[in-house]
Amino acid sequence: MNAPGTAGPAPDAVASTAAAFRALLEDGWSPPLPGAGATLTRWRSLAAVARRDLPLARLAEGHADAVSVLAELGGPAVPEGARLGVWAAEPPDGQVVATSTPEGWRLSGRKRWCSGAGTLTAALVTAAAEDGRRLFLVELGRPGVRVDRTTWVNAGMAGSDTADVHLLDVAGVPVGGPRGYLDRPGFWHGGIGVAAVWAGGAQGVAAALTAAAVQRGPDPLRDAALGAVDALLAGVDAALRAAAAEVDADPLDRTGTAQLRAQRVRALVARAGAEVLDVVGRALGAGPLAHDAEHAARVADLTVYLRQHHGERDLAALGALVRERGGR
């Protein structure tokens, strides 16, 4: 536990998730690359991890995304035993600047929302350079890397070890060119991978309702709730199936539909996840939240993780795409 008066995630939660993440990779967990013909397998693999442990899935998704980014942009080979992540959030109060020097690129600044801050061996970090936004591979064991965990105060997703990371004149290896990270088709394919994790988290929350319905027997209100949740999750599964087939058919986004697809799927899964939380919560009441530690953790984790969808702001971006395409 944290000492009285201090902030930051509980050390036990961070250590447990870190150990599970290391074990997952040591056991050979390595989903197929997106767009390589098995995208649905990739997303189902992410969802399966999320069903049992959302903080673990956050780290697993980040590692899988980093591997795919390096492959797409021709970055360095992933060394054996590496634990990778992608730190690309850029809020106004968290900016990193990259400077080209005769000795190579150097990065300085504060990066926020860095999951796996004390667990990863390296991270792909976005930074502002003179020629535009760039992506860099940063070895996290170097001098000048400092992790600040005091900024995270929520019990939800505490195990993901999401912290602020301060970089002071740290070496970075460029991956791709200016705007290479954002302008590649895989950026949007990866966004659906995150939605697959949300979907797995919703399945994990829904499992408590299914178990209660089976154990307690027929009840019209509980059965209605179970039916509502089943319909939501079946719709999510259908959307992921369709999206995966489209990504595999057009991995380079020659049709220009990757962003529209990703925004649609993310919006659908985020709304479904929120509804699952609401329906399950009303059907089961306070009991499981108070007395079932695993269910309570899943609810807290999913509540936080779904906020990675930016609500009406992301819906407005989707609406703008629909308007620009004339409703196609």
* Average pLDDT value for the chain: 95
Q: Residues 58-102: pLDDT tens digits?
A: 999 999 999 999 999 999 999 899 999 999 999 988 899 999 999
Q: What pLDDT score does 56 carry?
A: 98
Indicate if the pLDDT at residue 3 is higher than 50.
no
pLDDT of residue 7: 56
Whether residue 154 is predicted with pLDDT greater than 80 in this model: the reply is yes
Q: Map residue 145 onto helix, strand or coil.
A: strand
Three-class DSSP category at 121: coil
Neighbours of 180 (CB within 10 A): 20
Q: pLDDT tens for residues 189-234? A: 999 999 999 999 999 999 999 999 999 999 999 999 999 999 999 9
Percent of the chain whose pLDDT exceeds 70: 97
Do 16 and 166 form a contact (C-beta atoms < 8 A)? no
Alpha helix segments (H runs only) across the chain:
11-26, 39-52, 54-73, 180-183, 186-216, 220-249, 258-284, 287-291, 293-305, 312-324
pLDDT at 189: 98
What are 213's two structure tokens? 């319905």
- 11-177 matches 181-324 in fold: no
3-class SS of residue 88? coil
Q: Which two tokens stand for residue 6?
A: 């201090």
Tell me yes or no: is domain 181-324 CATH 3.30.420.40: no
pTM assigned to the model: 0.94
Q: How much is the pLDDT for 94? A: 87
The answer, yes or no, to whether residue 1 has pLDDT greater than 50, is no
Residue 76 CB neighbour total at 10 angstroms: 11
| CATH placement of domain 11-177 | 2.40.110.10
pLDDT one-digit tens code per residue, 236-278: 999 999 999 999 999 999 999 999 999 999 999 999 999 999 9
Report whether 66 contacts 86 (CB < 8 A): yes
pLDDT of residue 87: 98
What pLDDT score does 326 carry? 86
Answer whether residue 290 shows pLDDT above 90: yes
Domain ranges of the chain: 11-177, 181-324
Strand-pair partners of 110: 166
- Choose the weakest-confidence range: 101-105, 134-138, 281-285, 324-328: 324-328
Question: Is 141 strand, coil or helix?
Answer: coil
For 159, counting Cβ atoms within 10 Å of its Cβ (0-12 exposed, 13-18 middle, 19+ buried), the class is buried
User: What is the share, in percent, of the chain residues with pLDDT greater than 90?
Assistant: 93
**Could you give the dihedral angle defined by the CA atoms of residues 18, 19, 24 and 25, in that order, rounded to the nearest 10 degrees?**
70
Residue-wise pLDDT for 157-177, tens only, equals 999 999 999 999 999 999 999
